[in-house]
Structure 1
């Protein structure tokens, strides 16, 4: 795939919950999140998005090579047979093919998890492909360095993996491109390793290994960048500052108070009854505090208009649209849903006076901010 379709594909894969994979192999992306992911703001973004989705479907292709008892088995898989969206909805439905799902679900087992934030900064498809391959090896190095189970020379191989040039060309889909090695090195190897070093949490270099007079393979050297430290020991000083510590303690007390309020709120039980949160999630102090602070005031506002039965009907609708196996921010999801409902003008008056609809005027940003505060 080219760069943009490849990034869309990687974003879609990141929405698969590998612990609880979708039974129908479907995930939903938000067009808003997609545009934010690609930092797109121009007026032509919807057309460009449509073109990128179509290209992704046409270009996405996997060739799987697996070693069996009698030799190798080869499989060709088109990973995304269906994408569906509308021009009036934010959701984009992506259905993965059943044949590709085991490979995507086994990401953790195969050490191929990587930082999606790193991928967003890469501007070349070769950089993305190579970054993922290097991540797989370095993740194994970190795992076995911490857990044991590998000899020192094996650990060195994980941190300094090598690959025959032919296989590297297969990996980057350049068997028929840049046939003159200096061109291949400049366009693929050099640019990719420099970009990975500049934009990700890896430092990457490479050396060319010869067999006779020709270059036979490439050996990469991977190291992780040190975590950025605050200048002049500011972090250390801040952690010892009484005002900072007091503010931190105050925030914790406030969160505990919000959590206690949420435990007593009628809306918490409504969320449980609607299967939007589980009893286990109720023990998450941060989640419940954020619900109490950001979502429940809006539910109270909705209750004053439509009554508790109306709130319950809204939550049932939201629950039917919520995708448990994608990984949305629950607080953001619920807040967005109720704000849109309140702003839509579709909210009815209470049961005792339901002869007409209550049309709500558009709310200004200042009004929303005031309600939030």
Structure 2
């Protein structure tokens, strides 16, 4: 069953800054909790490159293509020395930067040290930059079915500290799990709340931030690794985060974070729109229709099947337009398949779709699922004939 048409093998896709701003970074949790042996610039460059991986069609030769112009804009670089600074950043990333990953294996742990981007290529007369990932890093970036985290690239772009980025990725991992289990279930109430209020020991936090041998005085560690980075996160990302220091004896033993999501910003032109009764009526009618459809979708057995197969995330379930689209354009097709093959036929179809694609990479979930079922239904009908 073909779902996604194949592109030309040698097609290069250079992404614009506008597209990048809408992208998500998807990484395995082992990479989130690994030790990033690099400073902020290589780490941000890695996150930027990861956001450009299309997991629906994994990049040929583990390679993506970026624009120098958009790279400079992403890093907010505008001075005359930007080209030499870019060259220095790439060289530093390749010579010094690596992830130190620790994974459980058997009765102990397996340790890996991976240089994530060993090869980059560009010219002084062309805008294109070729970025090639190391083959060993790719399993942490594609074909992820469980234990992975997604976060917004636009949040990372505004962070100017290595510790801000590391903490933001870890907090995203925790809050993703809170959103997932809040909707899907499978955890006790106190376990779900623990994801929104995660705790980490000072020892683990020092390992993750690579500060075991630095910031020996807790006052400086607290300021440079916790307070200042969290101020940045609160100012520039979708999170509001506070924290408490937990003592054991006379020493600080661990940190408990408290994460909340900021409300979505209103449209810049809402005041003008509120003065237009025609706009308001159309808007109200559309919103009412979408809310009704979305309400039906939330109660549908198909929504649960999509969650079970990791084809829909709890975060996406908060998108009224998306859920309305599923109810209006996708679920009626699942009804057709159910009539032909029963509910198990729908389950088998979704299991197949899930096995072929990574759920959180879809830029338009409803469109993707509609295409998949539209391509499959004619095959089922021909077989029944």
Change in CA separation of 1:244 and 1:3 when aligned onto 2, cut-off 3 Å:
same
For residues 274 and 145 of structure 2, the distance between their equivalents in structure 1, rounded to whole angstroms, comes to 38
Aligned pair partner of 2:98 in 61, 72, 75? 61
Q: 2:124 maps to which residue?
A: 87
Matched residues in 1 for 2:269 and 2:70: separation? 36
Deviation at 1:209, TM superposition (A): 1.1
Cα pair distance change 1:199/1:105, threshold 3 Å: same
Show the counterpart of 2:194: 157
Q: Counterpart of 1:113 in 2: which secondary structure?
A: strand
- Choose 1 or 2 for highest CA Rg: 1
Deviation of 1:78 (Å): 1.4
Q: In the alignment, what sits opposite 1:26? A: 63
Question: Is the aligned partner of 1:3 residue 2:50?
Answer: no
Pair 1:17–1:209, CA change in 2 (3 A): same
Compute the displacement of 1:42 (Å).
Answer: 1.9
Report how many residues are paired.
251
Identify unmatched segments of 5+ residues in structure 1: 248-325, 329-373
Shift of the 43–108 alpha-carbon distance from structure 1 to 2, 3 Å rule, reads farther
Contact 1:131 1:196 in 2 (8 A): yes
1:100 aligns with 2:137: yes
| Structure 2 unaligned blocks of 5 or more | 1-37, 284-360, 364-385
**Residues in 1 aligned to 2:109 and 2:223: alpha-carbon distance in whole angstroms:** 33
Post-superposition Cα deviations, 1:318-357, rounded to whole Å, max 9, x if no partner, equal xxxxxxxx999xxxxxxxxxxxxxxxxxxxxxxxxxxxxx
Classify the secondary structure of the residue corresponding to 1:184: helix
Aligned to 2:216: 179
| Corresponding residue SS for 2:92 | helix
* Counterpart-to-counterpart distance in 2, 1:232 and 1:32: 30
Aligned residue runs from structure 1 range 275-354, under 5 A: none
- Give the match's secondary structure for 1:28: strand
1 or 2 for the larger relative contact order (CA 8 Å, sep ≥6)? 2
Query: How much is the aligned-residue C-alpha RMSD, in angstroms?
Result: 2.8
1:213 and 2:250 aligned = yes
Q: Tell me: CA distance 1:243–1:135, structure 2 relative to 1, closer, same or farther (3 Å).
A: closer
Matching residue of 1:35: 72
CA contact (8 A) 1:16 1:327 kept: no
CA distance in 1, matches of 2:221, 2:279: 57
Q: Which position in structure 2 is the counterpart of 1:203?
A: 240
Deviations 1:229-260 (A, max 9, x none): 3599738726x63268789xxxxxxxxxxxxx
CA contact (8 A) 1:124 1:192 kept: yes
- Cα deviation, residue 228, structure 1: 2.3
Offset of residue 186 of structure 1 = 0.8
1:206 is paired with a residue whose SS is strand
SS at match of 2:245: strand
Partner of 1:113 in structure 2?
Answer: 150
After TM superposition, the score normalised by the length of structure 1 is 0.62
* Structure 2 equivalent of residue 241 of structure 1: 277
Mean CA deviation greater in 60-69 or 227-236: 227-236
2:46·2:116 contact (CA, 8 Å) conserved in 1?
no
2:65 is paired with a residue whose SS is strand
- In the superposition, relative to structure 1, how do residues 8 and 232 fare at CA in structure 2: closer, same or farther (>3 Å)? closer
The answer to whether the aligner puts 1:130 opposite 2:187 as a matched pair is no
Do 1:111 and 1:137's aligned partners in 2 also have CA atoms closer than 8 Å? no
Change (3 A) 1:245 1:34: farther
Deviation, 1:227, is 1.6
Aligned to 2:24: none
Alignment partners' CA distance in 1, 2:182 and 2:242? 21
Mapped to 1, the partners of 2:362 and 2:195 lie a distance apart of 31
CA contact (8 A) 1:84 1:93 kept: yes
Q: CA deviation at 1:27?
A: 0.9
Q: Displacement of 1:226 after TM fit?
A: 1.3
